[in-house]
């Protein structure tokens, strides 16, 4: 396969649609929604989080986006995210990939990226 993960995820538009679906799933997920529901009343903050996420994913999958946000440890430090919460996030991401018709090989590669970040996020 010669195309980048970024291209197989649908480029900028595909990633933005994925991020919207992922956030929607997080808001409905009882294991993690308490971390996201406060942003419902702060649409500017939610838009900022989504944009950072799009840039992070775009940059990390071979796209032209530049991620200028904080590192994963700096972003999640003090949140004390549990392994169960992390897996709930991963499950939401996996479901969004399926919902958007992302092929199994691309899903597997994307989920490998998600799992590679776990040590930088859980329990810090």
pLDDT, one tens digit per residue, over 77-120 is 999 999 999 999 999 999 999 999 999 999 999 999 999 999 99
Q: Give burial (CB, 10 Å; 0-12/13-18/19+) of 89.
A: buried
What element of type H or E holds 27?
helix 11-28
Report yes or no: 8 and 106 within 8 Å, Cβ to Cβ.
yes
Residue 61's domain is classified under what CATH number? 1.10.490.10
Q: What is the pTM of this model?
A: 0.94
Domain that holds residue 107: 5-121
* Tally of domains within the chain: 1
Report yes or no: 114 and 53 within 8 Å, Cβ to Cβ.
no
What is the model's pLDDT at position 1?
A: 52
Residue 2 scores a pLDDT above 70: no
């Amino acid at each position: 396969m010669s195309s980048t993960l970024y291209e197989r995820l649908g480029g900028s538009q595909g990633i933005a649609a994925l991020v919207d679906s992922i956030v929607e799933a997080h808001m409905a997920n009882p294991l993690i929604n308490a971390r996201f529901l406060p942003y419902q009343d702060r649409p500017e903050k939610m838009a900022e989080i989504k944009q950072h996420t799009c840039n992070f994913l775009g940059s990390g999958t071979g796209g032209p986006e530049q991620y200028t946000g904080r590192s994963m440890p700096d972003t999640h430090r003090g949140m004390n995210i549990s392994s169960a919460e992390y897996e709930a996030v991963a499950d939401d991401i996996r479901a969004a990939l399926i919902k958007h018709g992302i092929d199994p090989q691309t899903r597997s590669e994307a989920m490998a990226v998600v799992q590679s970040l776990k040590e930088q996020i859980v329990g810090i």
